[in-house]
């Protein structure tokens, strides 16, 4: 993702329904993991998810390749280092949790990313990964934000397990809005990263929040989430 798109993301993420609900997913996963430890947020942009980690008590560091994004993260009081996801500057076995939201789809050698995640994790450590799913949803948005692929459950599981990680669970997100997203992206041009009118943002938030309570995670959505761990 180029600097322009990263700036746009950072400007939107605190209020946009998509990013707000994803942060809630992260919070729920952190509660399930229990006692906090050392965390690395890969591809963190301005550190929106890194803040969630820190607020939950994790010793969290943001990493990204974009110095502009990292400077914004530092201005927010977030520890941030420049790093390629394929060569993380952390010692082997030194990290308890790695988050990588919307990272793998940007990197041709996605297996190198998952291998690095596995390398830096301590035995029993966890990875939380999110990616766009289903190539039938490919649109100009994917081109604009620098995606190389969208994943199926099988392809995401393979690249994670080949790195030596054990998949705890994998689930779909943004299921209820998939028909609307499909319709919109077939007609739109360029990135979807734009400010939403207030009422529309509120309405979409309400719909996607409903997925917290409905049995839809096994259905096709717009994104996939995966939680994995390194065996002891």
Q: CA angle, corner 171, sides to 105 and 123, nearest 5? A: 80
pLDDT tens across 109-127, in order?
Answer: 999 999 999 999 999 999 9
Q: Return phi, psi of residue 79, to 5°.
A: -70, 125
pTM of the model: 0.92
Once rounded to an integer, what is the mean pLDDT over residues 190-207? 85
110 secondary structure, DSSP code? H
Residue whose structure tokens are 């030596």: 164
> Residue ranges of the domains in the chain?
3-230
pLDDT tens across 61-97, in order?
Answer: 999 998 888 988 998 899 999 999 999 999 999 999 9
Once rounded to an integer, what is the mean pLDDT over residues 154-180? 97
Once rounded to an integer, what is the mean pLDDT over residues 147-158? 97
Second CATH level (architecture) for the domain 3-230: 3-Layer(aba) Sandwich (3.40)
Q: Is the pLDDT of residue 196 over 60?
A: yes
- Residue 63 has what pLDDT? 97
Pairwise CA distance, residues 167 & 181, whole Å: 28
């Amino acid at each position: 993702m180029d600097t322009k798109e990263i700036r746009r993301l950072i400007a939107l993420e605190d209020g946009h329904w998509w990013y707000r609900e994803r942060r809630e997913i992260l919070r729920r996963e952190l509660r399930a993991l229990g006692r906090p430890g050392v965390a690395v947020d890969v591809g963190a942009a301005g550190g929106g998810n890194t803040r969630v980690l820190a607020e939950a008590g994790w010793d969290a560091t943001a990493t990204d390749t974009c110095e502009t994004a990292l400077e914004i993260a530092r201005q927010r009081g977030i520890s941030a280092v420049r790093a390629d996801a394929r060569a993380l500057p952390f010692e082997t076995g030194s990290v308890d949790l790695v988050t990588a939201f919307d990272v793998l789809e940007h990197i041709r050698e996605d297996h190198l990313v998952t291998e690095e995640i596995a390398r830096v994790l301590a035995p029993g450590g966890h990875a939380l990964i999110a990616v766009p799913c289903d190539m039938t949803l490919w649109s100009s948005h994917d081109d604009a934000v620098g995606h190389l692929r969208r994943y199926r459950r099988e392809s995401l599981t393979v690249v994670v397990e080949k790195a030596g990680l054990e998949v705890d669970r994998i689930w779909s997100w943004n299921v209820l809005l998939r028909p609307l997203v499909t319709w919109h992206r077939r007609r739109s041009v360029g990135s979807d990263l734009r400010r939403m009118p207030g009422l529309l943002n509120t309405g979409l938030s309400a719909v996607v929040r409903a997925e917290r309570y409905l049995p839809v995670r096994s259905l096709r959505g717009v994104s996939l989430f995966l939680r994995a761990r390194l065996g002891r």
